[in-house]
Structure 1
Amino acid sequence: MQNNAIFVVGYPRSGTAYLARLLGEALNSPVVSYGQYHSIADEGLDRPGNYKIHQLHLFPERRYAPADANKQPVEQLIIGDTILNESAWKGERIIHILRDPRGVAVSVMFYWGLPDLDKAIDYITAESSIMPCSWVDYITAWQESKIKFVQIKFSQLLTNTGVTLYNILSCISVKLPSDQDIETAIVNQDFAYRRRLIEENGDNMPYGKDAQLKHLRKGVVGDWRNYFTCKDGERLHNHAGKLMMELGYIQSNDWYKDLPNVRKTTKRSTSL
């Protein structure tokens, strides 16, 4: 691993691009694709900072090394077709961002233009053409990993951005930027401000204006309540309830029973 690399990882639609861009701004460093993986977050390629921030859906996986007669599992990091062995991976600068799977499901529905939330829940509860694995399998793999990483929640980043960003930077052994640099990064990555920039210049950004606009919507916590029904909640709970409880996203196994039987919101917009 390059000692100037910072990897921002997470399940798709969990806020990885937002965090990567915040770090890039705060450290005055480029957010750049890794290998053949073309990231929608890329920006600031001419920034002179000392680091390279990579936004990835990196996946830790235990596999048996072919040459190991004792069949001892070797932990590897999977990036598409790229595999990095634990022995070659120091892990000082991996940041894993978690997002409530209900928010993930809504964001998946918008970003991929799915017809309804049912299809989005299908995608995040099983391996699919657009997902590397289920949300539970992805998060569990990181929770059980022996690779060193810093973990935060997307909700923390949205509701207490400055403190969360400062804490991340303190944990990953980088030269800390000034408070003013952190504040400037937060202002420049504000969702509404970014959408205005995309409207003006989105065609010059990775994947173009339409993809960039779909990538950003509200940047708020709890918007899933406008879309989930009791049936949706029960489906997701049956798949992810135990892990949601462990992570503090729910406080009881009955959380979905008070949700409406019919979706309150039928008009869909684009967004994170």
Structure 2
Amino acid sequence: MDLVSGLRSLDCKLINHAELVDIDGISLIANTADRWDEIRGFKARPDDLVICSYPKAGTTWMQEIVDMIQHGGDPQICARAPIYERNPFIELCPPKPIRTGFEEAELMPSPRTLKSHLPVHLLPPSFWEQNCKIIYIARNVKDTIVSYFYFHKMHKMMPDPGTWDEFLEKFITGKVAWGSWFDHVQCWWKTKNHHPILYIFYEDIKEDPAREIQKVAQFLGHRLPEPVLNRTLKHVDFESMKVNPMVNYSTLPSRIINQDAAPFMRKGIVGDWKNHFTVAQSERLDDVCTQLFRGSNLTFRTQL
């Protein structure tokens, strides 16, 4: 059963906050952990493209950018289906009989564009064996935490976030779905040195979208003439995407994705963290980053 039909017919008793289960040191949603052997055994194809990120780093934005590049900047082609159908989320495992993300991917013809939030060491080995291209998008930790907190408040099948203070503590200690942000962004940063990975920063796209979109196109082997680039820039502008039902997740039932609690596309800016962090919380997180990023040349901007 496809995702939308399945979620609409889902028994209300099955709609509850997920539990987290440890898989190789990473906290994953229980339904994902239950199907882990199948996810681990997923068969990649050589022409697969994988868009990876820590949650709430601009994944949907990058998915739509890539789809526009792949289809000559034609927004009508990009409106052929909701983004979660165009780019299956391989470790998404809704309750049965709804098809999993990896099952949806298996049904797709090549070339496929797939999505994952998995850290490097949990990505199915076949992606490395097939030398698949990967785009990794990373966002500064403070804005990521804020966005992830609101996502938990909106998504009825994510773990209960608790209060802002409680969620911040869980995040810093890596006790949230997909584990530690600090490990996630750093391991992918190191892996780009020996695999075809384009590592893109959310803040760079906000600063100069034309430059970064051209960078993505070049990585994918596409040439973007100026008219195509301009159409793409207009289509993937945050205000355009916010009202686009093919990307804003409004096609999913509100009893699962409650966008009255928080819109899926909330603000899309750099620096909203200032409206949520106390001075003490900000300084503490700065200290954590200094400690955990010691010796790394990976840096993030928390304002533009």
Q: Match for residue 153 of structure 1?
A: 201
The equivalent residue for 1:226 is 275
Decide which moves more: 145-154 or 113-122: 113-122
Q: 1:9, 1:186 → 2: CA distance?
A: 21
CA distance in structure 1 between the partners assigned to 2:112 and 2:201 by the alignment: 22
Count residues in correspondence: 221
Conserved 8 A contact 1:27-1:177: no
Q: Do the aligned partners of residues 14 and 35 (structure 1) sit closer, same or farther apart at CA in structure 2, a change above 3 Å counting?
A: closer
In the superposition, the TM-score normalised over structure 1's length comes to: 0.68
Residues 139 and 300 in structure 2, CA contact (< 8 A), matched pair in contact too: no
Does residue 230 of structure 2 align to residue 189 of structure 1? Answer: no
Provide, for residues 146-192 of structure 1, a one-character-per-residue CA deviation record: whole Å limited to 9, x for no partner: 433111110011121111011122123x2324332232222222222
SS of the equivalent of 1:22 reads helix
The Cα shift of 1:205 comes to 4.9
CA RMSD of aligned residues (A): 3.4
Q: If each structure's helix is expressed as a fraction of its own residues, which one has the higher value? A: 2
Are 1:102 and 1:224, in contact at CA under 8 Å, matched by a contact in 2?
yes
Structure 1 runs not aligned, ≥5 long: 40-48, 62-77, 252-272
* TM superposition shift of 1:206: 8.3
Offset from partner CA, 1:112-162 (integer Å, 9 cap, x none): 12454323322322333x422111111222133243311111001112111
Give SS of 1:33's match: coil
- 2:178 is the alignment partner of 1:132: yes
Q: Does 1:23 align with 2:71?
A: no
Q: Would the aligned equivalents of 1:9 and 1:57 in 2 still touch at CA under 8 Å? A: yes
Letter in 1 for 2:54: Y
Higher strand share: 1
Relative to structure 1, the CA distance from residue 233 to residue 221 in structure 2 (aligned partners, 3 Å threshold; closer, same or farther) is same
After superposition, give the CA deviation of every residue in 1:41-68 in whole Å (9 maximum; x if it has no partner): xxxxxxxx9843222113212xxxxxxx
Q: Find the residue that maps to 2:125 and give its secondary structure.
A: strand
Contact 1:17 1:55 in 2 (8 A): no
Aligned to 1:8: 51
2:174–2:181 Cα contact (<8 Å) kept: no
| Equivalent-residue separation in structure 1 for 2:249 and 2:178 (angstroms) | 27
Deviation at 1:247, TM superposition (A): 3.0
Give the 3 Å change call, closer, same or farther, for CA 147–120 of structure 1 in structure 2. farther
Percentage of pairs with the same residue: 16
Shift, 1:238, TM fit: 3.4
Q: Distance in 2 between matches of 1:185 and 1:210?
A: 29
Query: How far apart, CA to CA, are the structure 1 residues paired with 2:171 and 2:177?
Result: 7
**Residue 12 of structure 2 corresponds to which residue in structure 1?**
none
Query: Which of 144, 155, 159 does residue 190 from structure 2 map onto?
Result: 144
- Cα distance in 1 between the residues matched to 2:128 and 2:51: 20
1:32 pairs with 2:87:
yes
Amino acid at match of 2:45: Q
SS at 1:215's partner residue?
coil
